[in-house]
Amino acid sequence: MNKTTNKKNSFPNDDFWNSLENIFSGLSTLIKNIISALSEMGIISYNLSLTIRIFLSSIVAAINSIFERQKHY
């Protein structure tokens, strides 16, 4: 059973959690782009860059699901 005790003016509200999701998604995209650039420049291997990008995607998905659950409490 989810409690929805958050009012529009209470903190943290849905806007706060949405902002955090956007920040983490943006940081993840930035890091993935840096990893891709390093891979294209030959500094790291393609397999390593793919592994890092998959790992980052799973971490961001987990964090976003935590934020989504926090909206209901």
What pLDDT digit, counting tens, does each position of 22-71 carry? 898 899 899 989 999 999 999 999 999 999 989 988 998 888 888 888 87
- Judge whether 21 lies within some domain: yes
CA distance 69 to 66: 5
Q: What's the structural domain count of the chain?
A: 1
- Judge whether 59 lies within some domain: yes
Count of CA atoms in the C-beta half-sphere (13 A) of 9: 0
pTM for this one?
0.69
- Judge whether 5 lies within some domain: no
- Judge whether 3 lies within some domain: no
- Judge whether 30 lies within some domain: yes
- Judge whether 1 lies within some domain: no
Domain that holds residue 63: 14-70
Name 13's Cβ contacts closer than 8 Å, sequence gap at least 6.
Answer: 6, 7
CA distance 31 to 21: 15
